[in-house]
């Protein structure tokens, strides 16, 4: 009977990930800002990128063709490794983002707690299905690099979307404003420019492709505008 490599592999990944998280000065600095109530969604995104990169680097160290049976990432291995590790990233980043949202709500006089979004299982399953599609894992190892960071960043965007929808359903009148940037911005980003009033907000307003520099602002219903990624107010 073949040896089940998952328990030891997962234990090593989780051990190194937790060690790197606990020693990361940038994450500690952002956590201190959260506790002081000064962190914004800019810090939430920085936190997400850092956590995503730590997990991606841990995967790079531990998951290679030469440790996998026949050099292939089989579904039963991918599912048992990626589901718990990506779900853990979700828990970490969703908690931080919801705390930041709650602080920001209070800073503008809204007595609402920040809401953590549900895990996007579709994205998790998509990564799993893609990484098992090749006969040789090393040919698809890149899926466990930048896409892992992108997945982790998406947790912040999901937090924004969840809270905007909740506030709209609570009787507020939030608007979403998206502006295209870049040198030059791509056609898709240009097509998404505009002002959208809840509930008529297209799903794509919250999405970002790799290296997207678009700005999305959230207007809570008064004369001020707030960038939903940086949480900076403008008049």
Each residue's pLDDT tens digit, 114-170? 999 999 999 999 999 999 999 999 999 999 999 999 899 889 888 888 988 888 887
Both 54 and 117 in one domain: the answer is yes
- What residues are paired with 175 via a beta bridge? 197, 219
Both 149 and 177 in one domain: the answer is no
Domain assignment present for 145: yes
Range of the domain at 185: 173-234
Kindly state the percentage of the chain with pLDDT values over 90: 53
Task: Tell me what pLDDT residue 163 has.
Answer: 86
Cα atoms found within 13 Å of the Cα of residue 86, Cβ hemisphere only: 28
Cα–Cα distance, 214 to 211 (Å, whole number): 9
Six-digit token string for 204: 């794509």
Domain assignment present for 1: no
Domain assignment present for 194: yes
Longest dimension (CA), the chain: 68
Task: Tell me what pLDDT residue 194 has.
Answer: 83
**Residue 8 neighbours by CB under 8 Å, 6+ apart:** none
Tally of domains within the chain? 2
> Alpha carbon of 8 to those of 18, 20, 78, 79: distances in Å?
15, 18, 14, 15
In the predicted model, residues of the chain with pLDDT beneath 70 are 1-2, 181-182, 211-235
Both 196 and 229 in one domain: the answer is yes
Both 157 and 214 in one domain: the answer is no
Task: Tell me what pLDDT residue 129 has.
Answer: 97
- Please give the model's pTM, rounded to 2 decimal places: 0.84
Nearest to 117 by CA among 160, 176, 173: 160
Both 111 and 213 in one domain: the answer is no
Task: Tell me what pLDDT residue 111 has.
Answer: 82
């Amino acid at each position: 009977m073949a040896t089940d490599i998952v328990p030891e592999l997962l234990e090593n990944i989780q051990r190194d990930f937790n060690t790197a998280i606990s020693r990361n000065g940038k994450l500690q600095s952002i956590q201190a800002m959260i506790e002081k109530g000064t962190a914004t969604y800019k810090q939430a995104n920085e936190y997400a990128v850092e956590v995503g990169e730590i997990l991606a680097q841990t995967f790079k160290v531990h998951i290679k063709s030469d440790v996998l049976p026949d050099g292939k990432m089989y579904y039963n291995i991918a599912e048992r490794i990626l589901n718990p590790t990506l779900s853990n990233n979700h828990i970490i980043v969703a908690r931080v983002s919801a705390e930041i949202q709650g602080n920001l709500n209070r800073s503008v006089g809204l007595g609402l707690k920040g809401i953590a979004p549900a895990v996007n299982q579709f994205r998790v399953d998509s990564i799993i299905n893609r990484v098992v599609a090749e006969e040789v894992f090393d040919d698809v190892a890149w899926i466990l690099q930048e896409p892992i960071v992108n997945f982790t960043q998406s947790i912040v965007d999901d937090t924004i979307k969840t809270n905007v929808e909740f506030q709209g359903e609570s009787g507020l009148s939030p608007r979403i404003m998206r502006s295209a940037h870049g040198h030059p911005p791509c056609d898709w980003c240009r097509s998404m420019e505009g002002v959208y009033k809840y509930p008529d907000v297209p799903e794509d307003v919250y999405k970002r492709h790799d290296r997207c520099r678009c700005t999305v602002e959230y207007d809570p219903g008064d004369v001020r505008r707030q960038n939903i990624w940086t949480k900076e107010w403008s008049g």
